[in-house]
Amino acid sequence: MAEQNANALAQIADLLGPRLTTALADRESHSRDEAYTPPVLPDAVAYPETTDEVSAILKICHAQGCPVTAFGVGTSLEGHVVPTHGGVSLDMTRMNRVLAVHPQDLDAVVQPGLTRRDLNEELRDTGLMFTVDPGANATIGGMAATRASGTNSVRYGTIRENVLALEVVLADGTILRTGSRARKSAAGYDLTHLFIGSEGTLGIITELTVRLHGQPEKISAATCAFESISGAVESVISAIQMGLPMARIELVDEVQVRAINRYNADFDLPEKPYLFLEFHGSPDGVAEQVENFRAIAEDQGASAFQWAEKTEDRNRLWAARHAAYYAVKTLRAGAVGVVTDCCVPISALAACIARAKALIAASDLIAPIVGHVGDGNFHLQILVDPDSAQEVQRAKTLAGQLNQLALDHAGTVTGEHGVGTGKLDYMQAEHGAAYQVMRDMKRCLDPKGILNPGKLVGSL
Amino acid sequence: MAEQNANALAQIADLLGPRLTTALADRESHSRDEAYTPPVLPDAVAYPETTDEVSAILKICHAQGCPVTAFGVGTSLEGHVVPTHGGVSLDMTRMNRVLAVHPQDLDAVVQPGLTRRDLNEELRDTGLMFTVDPGANATIGGMAATRASGTNSVRYGTIRENVLALEVVLADGTILRTGSRARKSAAGYDLTHLFIGSEGTLGIITELTVRLHGQPEKISAATCAFESISGAVESVISAIQMGLPMARIELVDEVQVRAINRYNADFDLPEKPYLFLEFHGSPDGVAEQVENFRAIAEDQGASAFQWAEKTEDRNRLWAARHAAYYAVKTLRAGAVGVVTDCCVPISALAACIARAKALIAASDLIAPIVGHVGDGNFHLQILVDPDSAQEVQRAKTLAGQLNQLALDHAGTVTGEHGVGTGKLDYMQAEHGAAYQVMRDMKRCLDPKGILNPGKLVGSL
């Protein structure tokens, strides 16, 4: 262990007692996330319980030059939380309280270690809901730090649109508040959005004021098949243009459908591209949306409509969609999934997916595609034999081709998974001159480079 | 004129020829905005036509240390564009083209000097619309720079939610692109939102990719009276909680209603607090929204409902609301309006307006209140005799009390008008430790302090 880290740990141990640990089990569980990224052990794991403790820890680490990498529940997908430079893994899960719910204002004040499901559990009797849903039961702090979104952002927005205010601790221990509980403000630089998506490299989020939405009176879900992906995408474009307020519009390709059929005993869908949809509103409003969508989709050759009005039927559909990641593993025994995502303007989506499928075929790998098609965001889950360095390399090459495809179509190399270690090499290509400004921001806010070093802007 | 400014002007004249002018008429028209702020003449006005020209101008000014203040059409309300330190007023109105419209993606790429009405004129036959509407026919660059919003942001968002990407020229002439045409991204720091609302102090916006929305199939407008402001606010809170997608919900107090009646020969509304509403959607959807809102409002004692389905009736209603600023002047001959706004959580809105009315009464000034009540944002237009320094001072004191009121209720000193010169003194109180971070950002991006100096973060 580097001397500065040892010095920092000794001081943090004085502060936290047994809540600073160097036990191997803790270090191992904080060495990786869900990405296929080599794990790196932190020197220790700290479990702060208050903002003041986070501030005190950062003051020590800043003085000593010891790296600090925040950790939620480790569900990120690009190696964000891997402490590549060692130091302290700052586990935020003991700061997991709901501090206030304001039903009239449709907001809640929460701590960063709270998971989205726990928040919704607390909200259940209020008629309100927190909508950002990346699939995994992530912490809300982690979702903000990685600019997460998910299946219903087409209707309710990503985490970017659902955070009103933050409390943040800077690298030197300074405690800031950004934004307010007012819905909008024209007062000063938008620091809230600077920290959202900064992946723990500019500050540690210690409190969030998030937007809530009313639980819809009526929810209806549906699936339908298409002869081609472009038919599915064109349907969604038409529906968005006419202002249909779809709550979820998920595309799964025929390879993913095969996996769903294999994984779920009660599924036997035709192996074609599918849309999974959900509509929220009043009973009459939902009925109208459903009819309008059906008309649009049938114009594009959709078939095999299945409507799910009852809660258990809806849950069955969405359970199948949410289990896509696990279902894919049925396609090849012993394989692991290398997951990647990108996002393009929706007009380019069908062409990009067609090109992606050609690249997958050329790679000789299995890689089902799912997409949040309303956002132009799609994911590949590339199955590889983890013991074959050559296959892993082919998967990385394929992911790289996908990134370039997105950049060639006015898009971004990641719509929602973030940069972590996996997308770092594409930042210069995506941002050009703006990447230098990001480095300047990092140097300005974290001059010693102790916060999640090596990530997002690379090594300064 | 300062020597560095004279040197810069000589070089810019070589670049722009007659498009750099020191004519008094141009300097005067660029010395102020619509705020009640003392005008300051720039040394010259430059009319760039390309991003490269903006970059070249900034390189010169950066080298010489000459101030540069961007100018659109001068409709800002807090003195944002007043070149308080002299130098160059950078008039962006020759960069006013629509560069591309992407109907499938619901976006357009525009230059900053384009006004919102001109954009909507170009979009008319596409079935699409640009929704941000601050009342004045502002430039889109100016709206982004001041984080503008307006009457329909409750449904469609402020400019913050409606800009996907920017091209920006930094103080040293570097040309950046932030964001992309993808709907969302998790790749890197959110520089787009850092420049939105930066009031020309961090960079000059030279291109914007803005979101468009489908024109609604059906629009219905309404007005109704309430016995109290809290009845109006409670109705809106209930409607939002049940998810009614109101497109506009404007509150006008009884003093403003009197002004509307005087200004518009065909208006004779009871002098009570009023809501002006608009609903967008399908014919059935709008009918359902209208019925639902009416039931909610009648529970709160609403009366005198008037529905306007026909375009001419709707236009008449909204013309009366949009002319509120001019109507107010009928309340006192020869007076000018000192305009101010603030924004609070909607649960605090009725209490804040009641307190504001008590403060107005104590000030012995006339000051009607209008509000974008769905956002918790309300405006005072304080009528003063411009020749009475004592009255102007009383108006400023009143505005200051209003700002403190907003801060005391977890709000912001400006929901949409911005900081300019008028709100500068409240920034430290609103932001606390975060204000120092804003100064650090400014120093990082504009180390010589040439961009709109003295504004937003004050003098460094």
pLDDT in tens, A399-433: 999 999 999 999 999 999 999 999 999 999 999 99
Instruction: State CA A290 to chain mean position distance.
Output: 28
Q: How confident is the model at residue A36 (pLDDT cuts 50, 70, 90)?
A: confident
Same-domain check for residues B229 and B208: no
Name the residue range of residue B391's domain: 332-423
Q: Does the distance separating the beta carbons of A435 and B146 come in below 8 Å?
A: no
pLDDT band at A460 (very low <50, low <70, confident <90, very high): confident
Residue A459 is assigned to a structural domain of this protein: no
The pLDDT, as a whole number, for residue B460 is 78
Evaluate if residue B321 carries a pLDDT over 90. no
In this prediction, residue A269 carries a pLDDT of 92
- State the pLDDT confidence band at A159, using cuts at 50, 70 and 90: very high
**B453 and B84 Cβ atoms separated by less than 8 Å:** yes
User: Residue B210 and residue B164: Cα distance in Å, rounded?
Assistant: 6
For residues A207 and A263, membership in a common domain is answered with no
Under a CB-based contact definition with an 8 Å cutoff, are residues A170 and A58 in contact?
yes
When CB atoms are compared, the residue of B176, B217, B416 closest to A184 is B416
Give the pLDDT mean for B339-349: 96
Q: Are residues A109 and A198 in the same domain?
A: yes
Residues A319 and A337 in one domain: no
For the stretch A111-139, pLDDT in tens is 999 999 999 999 999 999 999 999 899 99
DSSP for A107-156 reads: EEEE-TT-BHHHHHHHHGGGTEE-----SS--BHHHHHHTT---TTHHHH
**Overall domain count for chain B:** 4
| Residue B393, burial from CB neighbour count under 10 angstroms (0-12, 13-18, 19+) | exposed
Q: Partners of B20 in the beta sheet? A: B46
Residue B434 belongs to a domain:
no
Consecutive H or E run containing A378: strand A377-384
On the question of pLDDT at A459 being above 90, the answer is: no
**Do A105 and A58 share a domain, yes or no?**
no
Per-residue pLDDT band at A242 (split at 50, 70, 90):
confident
Tell me which of B183, B249, B344 to substitute to probe the interface with A (most A C-beta atoms closer than 10 Å). Answer: B183
DSSP A452: S
What pLDDT sits at residue A1? Answer: 83
Q: What is the mean pLDDT of residues B353-367?
A: 96
Q: Let me know whether A209 and A225 are in one domain.
A: no
Q: Which residues contact B415 (CB under 8 A, 6 or more apart)?
A: A182, A183, A184, A185, A186, B149, B341, B342, B343, B372, B375, B376, B377
C-alpha radius of gyration, chain A, whole number = 22
Residue B350 pLDDT grade (very low, low, confident, very high; cuts 50, 70, 90): very high
Is A202 in contact with B189 (Cβ distance < 8 A)?
yes
Task: Supply the pLDDT for residue B454.
Answer: 96
Q: Cβ(B114)–Cβ(B123) under 8 Å?
A: no
Asked if residue A445 belongs to a domain, the reply is no
Q: What is the pLDDT of residue A123?
A: 97
Residue at A444 is within a domain: no
Same structural domain, A50 and A73: yes
**Above 90 in pLDDT, residue A324?**
no
pTM score, two decimals?
A: 0.97
* Domain presence at residue A186: yes
Q: State residue B301's pLDDT score.
A: 94
Q: Is A26 contained in some domain?
A: yes
The CATH number assigned to the domain holding A260 equals 3.30.70.3450
The residue type found at B380 is L
B21 to chain A, minimum CA–CA distance in Å? 32
| Chain B residues in contact with A181 (beta carbon < 8 A) | 345, 410-411
Query: Tell me, what's the pLDDT at B451?
Result: 98
Residue in this structure with the two tokens 């564009």, named with its chain if needed: B81
d(CA B249, CA B257): 15
DSSP secondary structure string for all residues of B329-396? GGGSTT-EEEEEEEE--GGGHHHHHHHHHHHHHHHT-B--EEEEGGGTEEEEEEEE-TT-HHHHHHHH
Distances (CA, A) of A183 to B195, B278, B346, B438: 19, 20, 8, 21
Within a domain: A448: no
Cβ pair B239, B300 in contact under 8 A: no
For an interface test with A, give the residue of B163, B168, B184 to mutate (most A CBs within 10 A): B184
Q: Are residues A144 and A244 in the same domain?
A: no
Rounded distance, CA A151 to CA B111, Å?
33
Statement to judge: residues B222 and B317 lie in one domain? yes
Core vs surface per residue B361-388: b (16+ CB within 10 A) or e: eebebbbbbbbbbbbbbbbbbbbbeeee
Q: Do A445 and B440 touch (CB under 8 A)?
A: yes
Kind plus residue range of the DSSP H or E element containing A241? helix A229-241
The tens digit of pLDDT for each residue in B4-56 reads 999 999 999 999 999 999 999 999 999 999 988 899 999 999 999 999 999 99
What value does the mean pLDDT of chain B take? 95
Among A169, A196, A214, residue at a domain's last position: A214
**Confidence (pLDDT) at A309:** 83
Has residue A450 been placed in a domain? no
Q: How confident is residue B402, by pLDDT bands cut at 50, 70 and 90?
A: very high
Q: How far is CA B118 from CA B138, B140, B416, in A?
A: 10, 10, 22
Sequential DSSP letters for B4-49: HHHHHHHHHHHHHGGGEE--HHHHHHTS--SSS------SEEE---
Q: Do A117 and A210 share a domain, yes or no? A: yes
A349-363 and A389-408 are packed helices; what angle lies between their axes, rounded to 10 degrees? 160
Average the pLDDT over A86-94 and give the result.
98
Residue with tokens 């794990």: A39
Q: Answer with the one of A61, A93, A125 that is the final residue of a domain.
A: A93
Which CA distances in Å does B191 have to A189, A364, A438, A441, B14?
A: 11, 39, 8, 10, 33
Pairing assessment for the beta strands B44-46 and B88-91 based on DSSP bridges: parallel
pLDDT averaged over chain A?
A: 95
**Strand bridging mode B204-211 / B107-110:** antiparallel
The answer on A39 and A141 residing in a single domain is no
Share of chain B above pLDDT 90, in %: 90
Report, as an integer, the average pLDDT of B64-89.
97
- pLDDT, one tens digit per residue, over B93-152 is 999 999 999 999 999 999 999 999 999 999 999 999 999 999 899 999 999 999 999 889
Q: How many angstroms separate the CA of residue A86 from the nearest CA in chain B?
A: 22
Residue with tokens 């499901």: A117
At which of B171, B189, B214 does a domain end? B214
pLDDT in tens, A46-83: 999 999 999 999 999 999 999 999 999 999 999 999 99
Are A151 and A314 in contact, with CB atoms under 8 Å apart?
Answer: no
pLDDT tens digits for B226-278?
999 999 999 999 999 888 989 999 999 999 999 999 999 889 999 999 999 99
pLDDT tens per residue across span A136-156? 999 999 999 999 998 899 999
Q: What ipTM does the predicted assembly reach? A: 0.96
DSSP characters over B89-151: EEE-TT---EEEEETTTTEEEE-TT-BHHHHHHHHGGGTEE-----SS--BHHHHHHTT---T
**pLDDT above 80 for B337:** yes
Which pLDDT value is given to residue B459? 85
**Are A445 and B445 an interchain contact pair (Cβ–Cβ within 8 Å)?**
no
Q: What mean pLDDT do residues B161-181 have?
A: 98
**CA gap B97, B207 in Å, rounded:** 10
How many percent of chain A have pLDDT more than 70? 100
Q: What is the mean pLDDT of residues A263-289?
A: 93
Which pLDDT tens digit goes with each residue over A353-402?
A: 999 999 999 999 999 999 999 999 999 999 999 999 999 999 999 999 99
Query: Which of A87-101, A169-183, A443-457, B314-328 bottoms out in mean pLDDT, i.e. has the lowest?
Result: B314-328
Q: What angle (nearest 5°) sits at the alpha carbon of residue B323, between those of residues B319 and B327?
A: 130
Closest Cβ–Cβ partner in B161, B189, B284 for A284: B284
**CATH classification at residue B403:** 3.30.70.2740
Mean pLDDT for the stretch of residues B213-222: 94
Other Cβ atoms less than 10 A from the Cβ of B10: the count is: 12
Candidates B189, B190, B300, B425: best to mutate against A (most CBs of A within 10 A) is: B189
Q: What residue in B sits closest to A407 (Cα-Cα)?
A: B180
Separation between Cα atoms, residue B96 and residue B422, nearest integer Å: 28
Q: Are residues A64 and A106 in the same domain?
A: no
What DSSP letter does each residue of A265-277 carry, written as one string?
TT----SS-EEEE
For residue A44, the distance in angstroms to the closest alpha carbon of chain B comes to: 27
Calpha distance B106→B164 (Å, rounded): 11
Contact list, A375 vs chain B (CB under 8 Å)? 182-184
Which pLDDT score is estimated for B256? Answer: 96
pLDDT at A112: 98
pLDDT at position A427? 97
- Cα B283 to Cα B280: distance, rounded to the nearest angstrom: 9
Whichever domain contains B124, its CATH number is 3.30.465.10
Helices and strands per DSSP (H, E), number in chain A: 16, 18
CB B459 within 8 A of CB B442: no
